[in-house]
Chain A
Amino acid sequence: GAVVSQHPSRVICKSGTSVKIECRSLDFQATTMFWYRQFPKQSLMLMATSNEGSKATYEQGVEKDKFLINHASLTLSTLTVTSAHPEDSSFYICSARGSFGRDNEQFFGPGTRLTVL
């Protein structure tokens, strides 16, 4: 149980285009979903936290107008990178948290590798 999927797993796009990444909890209801970004040889950095039906909470330094997050249901959250630029190329990972499990336990999706040309 506690499986999280992401789609697409890899995307290559031209500079200036927008890219949408989906994160789904397949076998549980995710009360909270998290979006992380990881640059090569660096730690995962939390970008934003989203709760179903409410606006996402963005971390300091993350532009909410550039990284649009929608958490419309208890099993789906989407991250849209708007007007992507080469510096947005990164590994984007979502995680989900349900009402079960130990405190702070998050289940991670397989990640989406974004390359902006």
Chain B
Amino acid sequence: RKEVEQDPGPFNVPEGATVAFNCTYSNSASQSFFWYRQDCRKEPKLLMSVYSSGNEDGRFTAQLNRASQYISLLIRDSKLSDSATYLCVVPINDYKLSFGAGTTVTVRA
């Protein structure tokens, strides 16, 4: 089983819609989780950190389900600028990160 697995998508949604997708992880001892955003041919940029049950930042909400070992990311009122690949990142130990392959979201006008 991969350390981090994501639905690759793509998720094609109209502007204003809500889109949500999950990430499953294999290490039950993981304590922190990250969602990164990566635009085409660019470096990943940190979108959100999750250290407890969840986190909310504006239109973005991350929720953690430790029992089922998944983290979700929900985007409300999606904008064209939200089109990107969203990477789920789970620390393997205190310095190494494991990246999911990413979920592609395309928001159309």
- Cα A77 to Cα B62 in complex, Å, equals 34
Asked if B105 lies at the interface with its beta carbon under 8 angstroms from chain A, I say no
In the complex the two chains form, is B95's CB within 8 Å of A43's CB? no
Per-residue 0/1 for A101-117: is the Cβ within 8 Å of any B Cβ (1 yes, 0 no)? 01111101111010000
Please report the C-alpha to C-alpha distance between residue A113 and residue B42 in the assembled complex, in whole angstroms. Answer: 10
Assembled-state Cα–Cα distance A81/B109 (Å): 43
Does B99 touch A at the CB level, under 8 Å?
yes
Q: Give the dominant DSSP class at B's interface.
A: loop
Q: Given A49-B96, A102-B32, A103-B94, are A44 and B87 neighbors across the interface (CB < 8 Å)?
A: yes
A102 touches B49 (CB 8 A): yes
Contact status A42-B101, CB under 8 Å: yes
Q: Do A43 and B99 have beta carbons less than 8 Å apart? A: yes
Instruction: Determine whether A84 belongs to the interface, using a CB cutoff of 8 Å to chain B.
Output: no
Q: Tell me if A32 counts as interface (CB < 8 A to partner B).
A: yes
Q: Determine if A24 is an interface residue (Cβ-Cβ < 8 Å).
A: no
Report yes or no: A110 in contact with B32, Cβ–Cβ below 8 A. Answer: no
- Say yes or no: is B14 at the interface (Cβ < 8 Å to chain A): no
Q: Is A97 an interface residue (CB 8 A)?
A: yes
The answer to whether the Cβ of A46 comes within 8 Å of any Cβ in the partner chain is yes
Whether A113 contacts B102 by the Cβ 8 Å rule is: no
Cβ contacts under 8 Å, A43 to chain B: 4, 87, 99-102
Besides A103-B94, A108-B43, A108-B45, 8 new A-B residue pairs in contact (Cβ under 8 A), listed by A number:
A43-B101, A45-B99, A49-B96, A93-B43, A102-B32, A104-B34, A105-B49, A109-B43
A contact residues vs B (CB 8 Å cutoff): 32, 34, 41-46, 49, 91, 93, 97, 102-106, 108-111, 113
